[in-house]
Amino acid sequence: MTGAWEWSYEGYEPDEERLREALCTLGNGYFATRGAASETSTGGPHYPGTYMAGCYDRLISTVQGRKVENADLVNLPNWLPLRYRIRPVGADPGPWLSPDHEHLKEHRQTLDLRRGTLNRRTVYEDGAGRRLDVEQCSLVHMGTPHLAALRTAFTADGWTGSIEVEAAIDGDIRNTGVPRYRDLSNRHLTAWSTGTEQDGVVWLRCRTVESDIGFALASRVATSGGPGRSPEGSGRHSRPRQTPRQVFQTLVLPVDAERDAVVDKTVALYTSRDRAIGSPLRAAVAGVRTAPDFAELLASHCRAWAGLWDRARIEVPGEAGRILRLHLFHVLQTLSPHTAELDVGVPARGLHGEAYRGHVFWDELFVLRFLSLHFPEVSRGLLDYRYRRLPAACRAAQQAGRAGAMFPWQSADDGREETQELHLNPRSGRWLPDRSRLQHHVGSAVAYNVWQYCQATADTDYLHSKGAEMLLQIARFWASGADWDASLARYRIRGVVGPDEYHDAYPGAGSAGIDDNAYTNVTAAWVLARATELYRDLPEPRRRTLLERSGLDPAELERWEDISRRLYVPYHRGVISQFAGYGELDELDWAAYRKRYGDIRRLDRILEAEGDTVNRYQASKQADVLMLGYLFSPGELGGLFQRLGHVLDDETWRATVDHYLARTSHGSTLSSLVHAWVLARVHREEAWTYCEEALTGDVVDIQGGTTAEGIHLGAMAGTLDFVQRGMTGLETRDDALWLSPAPLPQLSKFGVRIRFRGLGDVDLGIRARRLRIAVPHSHHPAVRLVLGGHTHVIAPGTERWLDLPTGRRSDRRHGKGRQG
Ligand code: BGC
């Protein structure tokens, strides 16, 4: 029976092992390690990987005669290895055991979400009936982010003798986790050295090849009391063994019917980027030496997790609730309060694998709104990652002949564009031009995140300093790329790629990109409007500083205002067009393709392999126009369209939703999430189908093999936000909480705890069409809550139950909203 706080796998399935490793990753926002078995090493079903947030290295590879440079999130030395074999009295030592060995009889692994541990029980039995029961508990410490530990307990049954245990740190590591990247250079570590201290602590240090980051890992192995029968006090340590890239510690522990053997491995990990440490090696050796024993480490680790669970409480009954908890677990392991201290962005695939090389895309759009309502300091740290790269974004814009800031589609260490020039279609085996770097809409995502963070936290200081600088430079970029078209009497932004990456050029066109992507233009209009408004609201000294820093001419703002009202939004047959000319593209025979191929999520690859191109068709990889319904409430979106001179009524929006729903292949996990959100807001039953798909995307690996290479962090955080904001219609603006609940019948009862404008632990819950809000005791002013057009004032230390408005309220409608 699996509990609400557990994620378990019964039996050993080599084919599923890499997926399980990704989903059983343990991390703390500083580093993370895939949930590989400690007895295994890279190869076949196993890929133990350890990744440190923000640690990249770049190498040059030759692909099809071209030199390409790639920055990778580096797979670090492996601290996990711990293998064992039995040494029965009067017999030869048995083989080294692992789940792949034929002696395996039982295997169960469980992620304990509440405590943040991975627990495994493995039972082996040899031909002579000698059984060995192994229980292992591992943790990556959430309180002291440099520590990890592994407790392994052995019970012998039917024999007497000893267990030989070999623990290691393995520095002979490459980035080989993604088969598609096999042609690329992968050796990121160099300058290894290993050593042994007199007290038995062993260590390994090395550096990255190009980014020159130093790493040191130290390990201590001890026998200790554990659960079960009488534990063995001390085993026999043999001298540690070193090779240039590995270091080993060996122990021999007596076991018999009365005695269990327990081995604890404690590891400390430091980098040359850590502050106040002297040297990584000194810090690692001291860290492991002074670390408390396993029981104490486990207790402090659990306490740290309890604090996180409390701040981000989410209560949803049933299986959906269990999956959501798993999602929250992985979001917090990737982006924890420790992250706020680092210079890192949101890695699209977590710290869970090597897909997309650990790069940062626009996916923070799906993550920050969730985080800002629980861990605003983490959101701020993630925004700072962008701010530090604002000069690089300004240089990129300049090189492209534009003004302002052009943030890269893929970002890693120094903020340059990391999107590859070529990508491989595994179906055809062909390397093709990758034009996804034309997704300049990533800049609007940065601006949107800045704005929303400040709305949720009331961090005016940020908004008026770093926030304003980013917003203004992004607005400036849009203004510099908007050309006036007299025939349309509209501004146009040409040569871009929208969120739907399938359309990267017009069929047969010599140049890359499409024109007037509705999502790009509407979000650009939003940025320009916000930036203009913000500039005008800035206190005078701030405005002066900003003008000095950015070289902005206040006269530019008049043009911004004009562009924000007259950007072109194309339509065809009564629906918003994804881009200009979209309506003239061919219709795809979806039924025929589904019949022929079954899974057509990666329609782009299918068509290219057929010698065709998806650019010819009205077929999208993921939500594009509909993203507007995800970012903006109906009222806000209506206001934005009104500002652009259009009436976006319910009918047009519904027709637009229908149009794209029928023409999207959901080749990105973000797609089902956005569809669930948009459909729930227009009260459509299919919303639950998409929600289920978003919930199960990673746990059943819906995209066919991709989760093994890293979780989809945006979709995971997005599902949490789906409950928190999608179901409640929660908006944080004008100093109030605005709620417009639209719960699905399948999610009609839930509770979330949020932090709003400096006030923590505000509980919101929905049950039986009633809303509960509880505001904790504090010195904060009362919370203003707007529900169904009525404002309620909830004093600190009180709770209220409010009836949900019946029917469809006018504040849900498009076209009637406030000005965007
Ligand atoms: C999606 C992008 C996303 C990226 C990283 C791609 O498949 O199309 O929207 O940013 O994955 O998650």
Nearest of 471, 640, 619 to residue 569 by alpha carbon: 640
Confidence (pLDDT) at 63: 84
User: Residue holding tokens 């985080």?
Assistant: 371
Ligand 1, atom 9, lies closest to the CA of 499
Task: Give residue-wise pLDDT tens across range 531-552.
Answer: 999 999 999 999 999 999 999 9
The catalytic residue positions are: 501
Confidence band of 810 (pLDDT split at 50, 70, 90): very low
Task: Give residue-wise pLDDT tens across range 421-439.
Answer: 888 899 999 989 999 999 9
Atom number, ligand 1, closest to the C-alpha of residue 667: 7
The pair of structure tokens assigned to 283 is 């810090």
Q: Is the CB of 501 under 6 A from ligand 1?
A: yes
For the cut 90, the answer to whether the pLDDT of residue 334 exceeds it is yes
Sheet order of strands, 798-803 included: 314-315, 750-756, 759-767, 770-775, 798-803
Q: Is the CB of 363 under 6 A from ligand 1?
A: yes
For the cut 90, the answer to whether the pLDDT of residue 227 exceeds it is no
How far is residue 287's CA from residue 217's CA, in Å, rounded to a whole number?
10
Confidence (pLDDT) at 735: 86
Interval 26-51 mean pLDDT? 97
724 alpha carbon to ligand 1 midpoint, in Å? Answer: 23
Task: Give residue-wise pLDDT tens across range 361-383.
Answer: 999 999 999 999 999 999 999 99
Confidence (pLDDT) at 817: 40
* Mean per-residue pLDDT over the chain, rounded: 94
Ligand 1, atom 7, lies closest to the CA of 668
Q: DSSP states of 398-444 as a string?
A: HHTT--S----SSB-SSSS----SEEEETTTTEEEE--GGG-TTHHH
For the cut 60, the answer to whether the pLDDT of residue 813 exceeds it is no
Confidence band of 683 (pLDDT split at 50, 70, 90): confident
Atom number, ligand 1, closest to the C-alpha of residue 349: 12
Nearest of 590, 585, 575 to residue 653 by alpha carbon: 575
Q: Is the CB of 714 under 6 A from ligand 1?
A: yes
Q: Is the CB of 670 under 6 A from ligand 1?
A: yes
Ligand 1, atom 12, lies closest to the CA of 348
Pair 277, 249: CB distance under 8 Å? no
Confidence (pLDDT) at 378: 98
361 alpha carbon to ligand 1 midpoint, in Å? Answer: 7
- Pocket probe for ligand 1: among 363, 500, 620, 671, the residue whose CB has the most ligand atoms within 8 Å is 363
% of residues, the chain, pLDDT over 90: 90
712 alpha carbon to ligand 1 midpoint, in Å? Answer: 9
Q: Is the CB of 361 under 6 A from ligand 1?
A: yes
- Pocket probe for ligand 1: among 334, 354, 364, 501, the residue whose CB has the most ligand atoms within 8 Å is 501
Interval 762-781 mean pLDDT? 94
**How wide is the angle at C-alpha 91 spanned by C-alphas 86 and 92, nearest 5°?**
65
Q: Is the CB of 575 under 6 A from ligand 1?
A: no
Confidence band of 262 (pLDDT split at 50, 70, 90): very high
Confidence (pLDDT) at 239: 81
668 alpha carbon to ligand 1 midpoint, in Å? Answer: 6
Task: Give residue-wise pLDDT tens across range 731-762.
Answer: 988 889 999 998 899 998 999 999 988 899 99
Torsion of CA 723, 727, 730, 731, to 10 degrees: 100
Residue 461 backbone dihedrals phi, psi, to 5 degrees: -60, -45
- Pocket probe for ligand 1: among 73, 352, 361, the residue whose CB has the most ligand atoms within 8 Å is 361
Amino acid letter, 604: D
Q: Which region holds residue 304: left if phi is over 0, alpha if psi is between -120 and 50, else beta?
A: alpha
Nearest of 329, 453, 464, 310 to residue 382 by alpha carbon: 453
* pTM of the predicted model as reported, rounded to 2 decimal places: 0.96
Beta carbons within 10 angstroms of residue 391's beta carbon: 13
From residue 434, how far is each of 172, 245, 375, 419, 714 by CA, in Å?
A: 32, 37, 35, 8, 22
Number of H helices, E strands in the chain: 21, 33
Task: Give residue-wise pLDDT tens across range 574-590.
Answer: 999 999 999 999 999 99
Confidence (pLDDT) at 234: 54
Q: Is the CB of 677 under 6 A from ligand 1?
A: no
Q: Is the CB of 397 under 6 A from ligand 1?
A: no
Q: Is the CB of 362 under 6 A from ligand 1?
A: yes
418 alpha carbon to ligand 1 midpoint, in Å? Answer: 14
Q: Is the CB of 668 under 6 A from ligand 1?
A: yes
Interval 209-223 mean pLDDT? 97
How far is residue 448's CA from residue 809's CA, in Å, rounded to a whole number?
26
Sheet order of strands, 783-787 included: 731-733, 736-739, 783-787, 790-794
Interval 60-86 mean pLDDT? 94
Confidence band of 232 (pLDDT split at 50, 70, 90): very low
Ligand 1, atom 11, lies closest to the CA of 668
318 alpha carbon to ligand 1 midpoint, in Å? Answer: 29
Straight-line distance from the first to the last Cα atom of the chain, in angstroms, rounded to the nearest whole number: 50
For the cut 90, the answer to whether the pLDDT of residue 146 exceeds it is yes
Q: Give the CA radius of gyration of the chain.
A: 28
Atom number, ligand 1, closest to the C-alpha of residue 361: 10
How far is residue 208's CA from residue 186's CA, in Å, rounded to a whole number?
11
- Pocket probe for ligand 1: among 364, 622, 670, 674, the residue whose CB has the most ligand atoms within 8 Å is 670
352 alpha carbon to ligand 1 midpoint, in Å? Answer: 16
How far is residue 489's CA from residue 140's CA, in Å, rounded to a whole number?
59
409 alpha carbon to ligand 1 midpoint, in Å? Answer: 10
3-state secondary structure of 237: strand
How far is residue 287's CA from residue 282's CA, in Å, rounded to a whole number?
8
Atom number, ligand 1, closest to the C-alpha of residue 356: 5
